[in-house]
Amino acid sequence: MHCVIESGGLRLSAHLARPAAGAAPAPGLVLCHGFPAGPGGAATSAQTYPQLADRLAADTGWSVLTFNFRGTGASEGDFSLSGWLDDLRAAIDHLFAVAGVSGVWVAGAGTGGSLALCEAGEDERVRGVATLSARADFGDWASDPAGFLEHARSVGLVRDPSFPADFDAWARELREIRPTALIAKIPPRPVLLIHGADDDAVPLDDARVLADAAGDAVELRVLSEAGHRLRHDPRAVALLLGWMERQAGS
């Protein structure tokens, strides 16, 4: 069902998939999309995520909440990394308030997966994290923040011509928000990293860097001949479903 999440005075469009009525308390998952790509840009971000949330909820009995980060889809606001982290935190808070949710895990693709790792590192309420094609850092964006801001405008992520009010602070977040620094704080809570061997958007080395930063507690699964958009790969969805089933008993 469609719902709205409040985040820092902004209204975020969201979709909550629920198990059957009358079901016993069960875990909850926040499912995060990545940075916009493709001809639709920010306007079409996360269009397929409600269907994936419905599939995950139906197969596991979990409550699954997916949403549009600020600047994408029907959500208000303009893109910043710290703003997206605030949005993820608001989504976690929202899912905790849903009746029948016994605990919250987070999963995300691309940039959404990277921020899921960051948030879990700082928020001990998060019981575990699974990522698809997550970036190890945002160094390429930070190396040319002005160019990256123009790219964000071109895909529709930044709609207000006067945004950001403080460009230096906006750019500094691209350097300072670092998944490799925060993933080490997640174990012994479970972390699953799924990556395509042929990912041409986020190199496989990013997954290896993240796994090395977290140590032996991380499960890294590399899918042969797989690219970046793993949510459309049945093998990746099967890995995520299996991981969720294992968490339910933990």
Instruction: Pick the closest to residue 128 from 155, 92, 94 (CA basis).
Output: 92
pLDDT, position 46: 86
Amino acid at 132: L
pLDDT digits (tens, 9 = 90+) for 180-194: 999 999 999 999 999
How is residue 185 annotated by DSSP? G
Q: How many domains does the chain have?
A: 1
pLDDT score of 20? 73
For residue 120, what are the domain limits? 2-248
Low-confidence ranges of the chain (pLDDT < 50): none
CATH number, domain containing residue 234: 3.40.50.1820
Three-class SS state of 122:
helix
Which pairing describes strands 10-17 and 2-7: parallel, antiparallel, or unpaired?
antiparallel
Model confidence pLDDT, tens digit, residues 118-146:
999 999 999 999 999 999 999 999 999 99
Question: Which pTM does this prediction carry?
Answer: 0.95
Instruction: Compute the radius of gyration of the chain from its Cα atoms.
Output: 17
Contact partners, residue 62, CB within 8 Å, separation at least 6 = 19, 26, 27, 28, 29, 56, 244, 248
Give the phi and the psi of residue 228 in degrees, each rounded to 5: -90, -35
